[in-house]
């Protein structure tokens, strides 16, 4: 037995052109507001395998020829203060929270400007609580100050 045929609902777009145009414009504007999709808060995976050189320490340039570095590899942050080597496990939170745990350091004597720079760098890194990447720069900051780094790109081939 056949079921009775249902009458088809008829939908017409006639007269709805302006409404469709407005909806399309709103959709385009909402998509445009989404930005580039890059976040100033890096994920731990985005940091893995990257190396950075300091360009500013509390808004002042580092000692020439003794620029601090930081490298993120295998869950560890390691680098140089411009004199001694340091390293420790790092953590990054989704809101830009940042911490280096159990930092270890070599103990070469650092005199003059390099020694002063080292003291500031270690103070900033051990008290750092925020990290962000924007405009090709990495900034680590906290109550002791901030360090701005530029990524070191290596040629592979």
For 24-63, how does the pLDDT look when each residue is reduced to its tens digit (9 = 90+)? 444 443 343 444 444 466 666 689 999 999 999 999 999 9
- Whether residue 57 contacts residue 124, with contact meaning beta carbons closer than 8 Å, is answered with yes
**CATH tag, 44-151:** 2.40.128.270
- At 113-133, the pLDDT tens digits run 999 999 999 999 999 999 999
Domain range annotation of the chain: 44-151
Arithmetic mean of pLDDT over the chain: 81
N-term to C-term CA, the chain: 74
Helix, strand, or coil here: 49?
A: coil
- Burial of 1: CB neighbours in 10 Å, binned 0-12, 13-18, 19+: exposed
């Amino acid at each position: 037995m056949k079921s009775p045929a249902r009458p088809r609902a008829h939908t017409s777009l006639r007269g709805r052109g302006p409404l469709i145009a407005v909806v399309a414009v709103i959709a385009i504007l909402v998509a445009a507001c989404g930005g580039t999709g890059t976040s100033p808060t890096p994920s731990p995976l985005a940091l893995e395998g990257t190396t950075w050189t300091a360009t500013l320490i509390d808004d002042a340039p580092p000692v020439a020829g003794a620029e601090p570095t930081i490298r993120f590899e295998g869950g560890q942050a390691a680098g140089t203060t411009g004199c001694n080597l340091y390293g420790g496990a790092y953590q990054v939170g989704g809101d830009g929270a940042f911490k280096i745990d159990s930092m270890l350091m070599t103990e070469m004597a650092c005199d003059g400007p390099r020694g002063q720079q080292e003291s500031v760098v270690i103070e900033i890194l051990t008290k750092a609580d925020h990290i962000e990447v924007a405009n090709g720069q990495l900034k680590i900051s906290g109550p002791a100050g901030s360090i701005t780094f530029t990524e070191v790109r290596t040629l592979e081939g």
